[in-house]
Structure 1
Amino acid sequence: MVRTFLECVGAEEDTEDAAYLRDHGRPDRREVLSVLALAARLRLGGVGAEPRSRLWGDAIRAVALLGLLFHAVMAAMEIGVMPWLAGEFPPLPTPPTEPPFGLPGEAWRLAFNSVGLFAIAAFVALAVNQPRPARWLAVVPLVTDWVARTYEAVSLPGGTPPGSWLMVLVNTGLVLALVAFHREAPPVHTRAWIGAFVAGVLLSPLYVIGMWTLPVAPDLRFAALDWSGLYALSLSAAGVAYLVLHASAVARAAHWPLTLLFLGLAVLALRGVSIADYVVQDGASAGVIAVCAAEALILLVVCVPLAVLAQRATRELPMNPADVTG
């Protein structure tokens, strides 16, 4: 529809299209955006949509929920450890030296970490079926991320590593996936997703303990448990859990293998680029490369059966899909 509108702009003066253009003008931005929104609703269907559209809609909505859940849990963890890293709890062990940070000064670090509150609020808003405020809240940490990466690119000697840019692009995709929560979208299971957030926050100290206390070389710890590594380990665990439970009623929703496959492929790309970053920029040891490659290989092995199940789910689409994303 947009293409048809724009074709009128190049029409000859003596054509009927040129007369239409003189009368009505070029479609404005709101008109174009409304057509794009309609296209998204049709292809990412909700209640009452045809099965293939509903399957893709449910998958993209679950991608957005899982992505925001991960960022909300990590934001809560980072905010929770800030007093310890600042040395404000003498009874606790001395905090370790943190990896280099993109923006200069402690004020910037505090502001950057505090933006995590918006990530938590965005997830909670989406979980309680308030997608419109969730979209605006999710934009704040995304913009902050773009600012930090841009600052690195123009001010630091090594610039911004490709892996960091790819991470920002993946996060941008997660925010864009919120378009799938249109007015025909089924309601979110609030209790289940809030429960997942609480469980993630309660388990997050395990990550902090592992990051700073695992009895291996620091470069191995930071490489294995950096953002790409944590993504890879989390998705591998989720994929294995789904493969074990997919025959149960809880995990039988057709969109889950497609959801986990989407996320798995994105994280495989992140892990692969991060390995290249370690080799090119840091001169990584063979141990670091082996650990990162092992995480990528495990995730790849998990993605293969997920791809098979996603293809089967597409072939065997139900005639009357369920009305609740879960």
Structure 2
Amino acid sequence: MNELLEQRYRTVLRLLPRSYRAEREEEMVAAFMEFSGDVPDEENPRPRWDEIASVLALSMRVRVGAAGATPRFVAWGAAVRLVATLGLAFHAAAGTFTLASLAFMTPGSMTRPLGVLAAALWMPAFVLLMRGHVRTAKPVALAAGAAALAELAAWQSLTSLFVPLDVVPPALDVVVPLAALLVGFHDDVPPVRRAWRPTVLPLAAGLLLRAVVLALLAPALGKVPLLWPWVDLMGLATVVLVVAGIVCLARDLPAYVPLALAILGTLMLPSRLSLMDNSYLSLGPSALWVSSVSQCVALVVMVTVLAVAGFRGLPSVRQGRAVV
């Protein structure tokens, strides 16, 4: 009997949640052992790398609500998918803003081709996801993310000093929603076709921001520096998240909603912290601290409250498996 190999398979299966192992471990070990054949312990047998990778992939799927997951993991899966959806919605709005801004650029103005490419790809990626074409949305979103990260790397190469708060937040804003998209929308999640109204809402918001809001506020920005941190894309997103958090808490929505909002708020916080460095303050009076600090405080408070509400609302770990 290959006791050494069996023990190593059981060690690999510890990657899976305990609730899943309790029902499937013996069956999976038997299948692995049958497929591996009769290999004596003297040959020091080990699980193959593809088998380890398959167990790791299964572990990730179960933890985001795959078939056989507990209700708690199903809730986490819904939170991950909401993070992906809202993250792509933000990038779609930003992409619309960027493309609309091209019409107002003066001849000879410098453009960033990779940034324009990323903006043009985020929009269809979000629309495809909302309309239920998940398999097509994933490669389009990956291409948009690759272009955005390449643009960020190109911009960083032009500077002689690496400033983490200037580079890490925008990179995380790209990587986290993409990871949530790839992990959360697995094969056990049936595609959902959303209505056109919520699908085009982020695109309309990007156009509205460029064509109306900034046009109306532009004359006042030079006179009221306190407005500066509130009229950029991330500043407006901060306002939207705080309002959405208040509505979420008031309406007692399912646990995955406050959890997703807490994750997104955590992603926003570093970008707001970067506003308080000396280079930013040199552009205006010290009163800018009032706006910058108030945004950070609002995000910290809202993220904390949402996280507590989300964790309290999660199903008990002792509840049975969900049927997906």
Instruction: Report 1:37-76 matches (<5 A).
Output: 37-46=57-66, 49-76=69-96
The aligned counterpart of 1:180 is 184
Judged with a 3 Å threshold, the aligned counterparts in structure 2 of structure 1 residues 280 and 242 are, in CA distance, closer, same or farther, namely: same
Letter of the structure 2 residue corresponding to residue 242 of structure 1? C
**TM score, norm. by length of structure 1:** 0.74
| CA drift at 1:43 | 0.5
Letter of the structure 1 residue corresponding to residue 192 of structure 2? V
Letter of the structure 2 residue corresponding to residue 314 of structure 1? L
Letter of the structure 1 residue corresponding to residue 198 of structure 2? A
Q: 1:43 touches 1:56 (CA, 8 Å); kept in 2?
A: yes
Letter of the structure 2 residue corresponding to residue 67 of structure 1? G
Structure 2 residue 238 is matched with structure 1 residue 239: no
Counterparts of 1:20 and 1:319, CA distance in 2: 36
Letter of the structure 1 residue corresponding to residue 82 of structure 2? A
The aligned counterpart of 2:311 is 311
- Structure 2 SS opposite 1:52: helix
Counterparts of 2:268 and 2:176, CA distance in 1: 13
The aligned counterpart of 1:124 is 127
Counterparts of 2:63 and 2:42, CA distance in 1: 30
Structure 2 residue 170 is matched with structure 1 residue 167: yes
Structure 2: 5+ residue stretches without partners: 1-8, 14-39
Judged with a 3 Å threshold, the aligned counterparts in structure 2 of structure 1 residues 196 and 163 are, in CA distance, closer, same or farther, namely: farther
| CA drift at 1:53 | 0.7
Counterparts of 1:138 and 1:280, CA distance in 2: 33
Letter of the structure 1 residue corresponding to residue 135 of structure 2? R
- Structure 1 SS opposite 2:254: coil
Identity of aligned residues (%): 24
| CA drift at 1:233 | 1.6
Judged with a 3 Å threshold, the aligned counterparts in structure 2 of structure 1 residues 238 and 117 are, in CA distance, closer, same or farther, namely: same
Any idea what the Cα deviations from partners look like across 1:4-26, whole Å, max 9, x if unmatched? 49xxxxxxxxx8274425xxxx7
Structure 1: 5+ residue stretches without partners: 6-14, 88-96, 99-104
Instruction: Report 1:283-294 matches (<5 A).
Output: 283=282, 285-294=285-294
| CA drift at 1:243 | 2.7
Counterparts of 1:128 and 1:31, CA distance in 2: 35
Counterparts of 2:124 and 2:171, CA distance in 1: 20
Aligned length: 283
- Structure 2 SS opposite 1:286: coil
The aligned counterpart of 2:36 is none
Letter of the structure 2 residue corresponding to residue 112 of structure 1? G
Any idea what the Cα deviations from partners look like across 1:239-295, whole Å, max 9, x if unmatched? 122233x24xxxx333111111111122123312x234x425653532222112112
Q: 1:153 touches 1:159 (CA, 8 Å); kept in 2?
A: yes
The aligned counterpart of 2:3 is none
| CA drift at 1:51 | 0.6
| CA drift at 1:155 | 2.0
Q: 2:72 touches 2:316 (CA, 8 Å); kept in 1?
A: no
The aligned counterpart of 1:11 is none
